[in-house]
Amino acid sequence: MTLFKTALLVVSLFLSITHLSAEGNHSHDFPKEIMAFHHVMAPLWHMDEGAERTNLSCDTTDKMLSLTKDIADSENLANAVTEMKKTCTDKKANIQADFKKVHDAFHKVSDKTKK
């Protein structure tokens, strides 16, 4: 391997590790109620789209709905989760548009808590 290729490989590896490390260590300064919802939604949201993401997301709609009850001004978030739950009843349905609405509604609620 040439020196150039070795250097390129080292730099690429360094950048990849730095990026992964930054993603793994990111945190949010959310109130505990919002953080609880985030801990349920975020891993699902960041999964690749597909059957596994759909099934797991549909399986957690009741938990998400329950968590919205503890979040102030979360009516739109609860409504978005309810719509996704309705879509989930059709096992062949694509929930991605509804899940995006849940994600966006979550950010509207969480953004209100930022200083």
Amino acid identity, position 103: H
78 is a domain residue: yes
User: Which DSSP state fits 1?
Assistant: -
Query: pLDDT (tens digit, 9 = 90+) per residue, 100-109?
Result: 999 999 999 9
- Tokens found for residue 39: 């801990």
62 is a domain residue: yes
54 is a domain residue: yes
12 is a domain residue: no
97 is a domain residue: yes
19 is a domain residue: no
89 is a domain residue: yes
Q: How many domains does the chain have?
A: 1
User: Which DSSP state fits 50?
Assistant: S
pTM attached to this predicted model: 0.74
In this predicted structure, what is the pLDDT of residue 6? Answer: 55
- Tokens found for residue 100: 């995006």
